[in-house]
Amino acid sequence: MKIKNVLRMTSWMLGAVLIAATGCKKDKSGENEEPTLGGKFFIAASISSAGGSGATGQGTTYALSVDNMEEGETSIIGNGIEIPNTYTHFAYNGTNTVFALLYGQGNSYLATGFELDATSKLKRTGADVVFPNQFATVGAVGNYIVTSRSSRTLSNGKLGAVFYFIDYNNNNATTEKFMETENFQGTGLEAQFVGIEDAGNNEFLTGVTLTNGDPNKVYVAKLDVNLNVKAFYQDDRLSYSAGQRQGARYSQMGNADNGDTYVFSGSYSAATTKHAGALVIKKGANGFDPTYYFDIEAVAGYRFKRVFHLTEDYFFLEFYNTAGAPATAGAASQYAIVRMSTKEFKWISGFPAKEEITATSWPYANPLTGKCYVGVTTANADPVVYVVDPKTFSAKKGMVVRGATGISGLGYLSPQK
């Protein structure tokens, strides 16, 4: 493994990203505000540029803070922090910091942090981070936001993965680390990593796909922050644990509140014969539980792209709109809740019909309430935040964001002293 420090944005690069910072106007909230939580909700509202989708960084983001997302409305006009690009991925340091990341698709790959100051005013935190070697997947480990990109040619000519560790306790100081991935764990095959899931003790779990490997097996590696392989698990009951949209990769793992790690597979490979489903690595165990298997595709009839833990052992799943092996750029705008211990599955009621949804945000699970917030865009309408209650398997229409064409991400922030 090789390590080097990454320079953060120079002043001219930072100036190119930051246009202006203005105070946030209070939203028009109603009686369902949650003042006992303190802090504010975060909304990354966006306007796509002409010819741009907003999913490739083309457009403008307005970072807003509001008291409540359950109802009411806010506007981007004269509001928030204006940034001349849009974001594709989000990661969280609890309720202290929201990191917005741009998967560039030919443009810059970068990350911007947001937090509240002691007076609850939204601000950028530290300097923006630029990823010279790009990234494909992101997660949080200890006091780091971690990204990785596989199939990079290293300085020694071998294939490997590049990881960036952003230390949010140290002004976003960023370290770049390299790991050879040829003949991974004696398989004779190159490994690609998908997902970053904190395993405690400065270790993390990541899904593994193997070039020319068996699509009817699931592989998971445990790495430490120095990129030493601590364990390598495999099982033939699932396919790869990986979500995909073109070159971007999405985690399909999550930790339940009791410390068990659920490993999902959306079975994105057209070559697999395995159903989309899930296995579990029990807390403290050194491998998959042989007695647990949840065939999610059998009850849903569809395969899923992204997985988010909400509360306890409830998970939010984003499903493709068509059955069978999905196209990597296929629409995925139908949603379900699964409770893993009981293998309970239900479609979420209250969302617009899947055919009406043109875009959705990165879902946000609030650890203080157990609710999930999803920005939803439909044709010829302002985007809306929908609030999902996992215990009732239902969503309700919440805050409307006037003047925006979409919502890329959401969060909740507590004031920082």
Q: What is the pLDDT of residue 248?
A: 76
Looking at per-residue pLDDT, the higher value among 168 and 209 belongs to: 209
- Which pair of tokens denotes residue 314? 């409830």
Neighbours of 255 (CB within 10 A): 18
How high is the mean pLDDT of the chain?
88
Mind listing the pLDDT tens digit for each residue in 176-188?
999 999 999 999 9
Average pLDDT over residues 408-417: 95
> Is pLDDT of 57 > 60?
no
Count CB atoms within 10 A of the CB of residue 267: 28
Residue 4 has a pLDDT of 54
Place of tokens 């960023």: 174
| DSSP H helix total and E strand total for the chain | 2, 33
pLDDT digits (tens, 9 = 90+) for 282-301: 999 999 999 999 999 999 99
In angstroms, the CA 261 to CA 264 distance is 10
> What confidence category does residue 258 fall into, taking pLDDT thresholds of 50, 70 and 90?
very high
pLDDT beyond 90 at 41: yes
Higher pLDDT, 301 or 327: 301
Give the pLDDT confidence score for residue 17 in this predicted structure. 34
Does the CA dihedral 280-247-106-122 come out positive or negative?
A: negative
| Residue 324: predicted pLDDT | 86
Q: What is the pLDDT of residue 3?
A: 55
With a cut of 90, say whether residue 393 has pLDDT above it: yes
Could you report how far apart the first and last alpha carbons of the chain are, in Å? 37
pLDDT value at residue 168:
86
For the stretch 98-115, pLDDT in tens is: 999 998 765 678 899 999
Q: What is the mean pLDDT of residues 318-328?
A: 86
What is the per-residue pLDDT for 42? 98
Residue type, position 261, single letter:
T
pLDDT at position 16 is: 36
Q: How confident is the model at residue 7 (pLDDT cuts 50, 70, 90)?
A: very low
**What average pLDDT does the segment 33-54 reach?**
69
* pLDDT of 241: 96
Nearest in space to 165 (alpha carbons), one of 140, 143, 145, 135: 145
Confidence of residue 225 (pLDDT cuts 50, 70, 90): very high
Number of domains in the chain: 1
Are the beta carbons of 313 and 254 closer than 8 angstroms? no
Domain with 145, as residue range(s), is 2-413
Where residue 160 sits, what CATH number does that domain have? 2.130.10.10
Q: What is the pTM of this model?
A: 0.88
Q: Sign (positive/negative) of CA torsion 209, 196, 87, 267?
A: positive
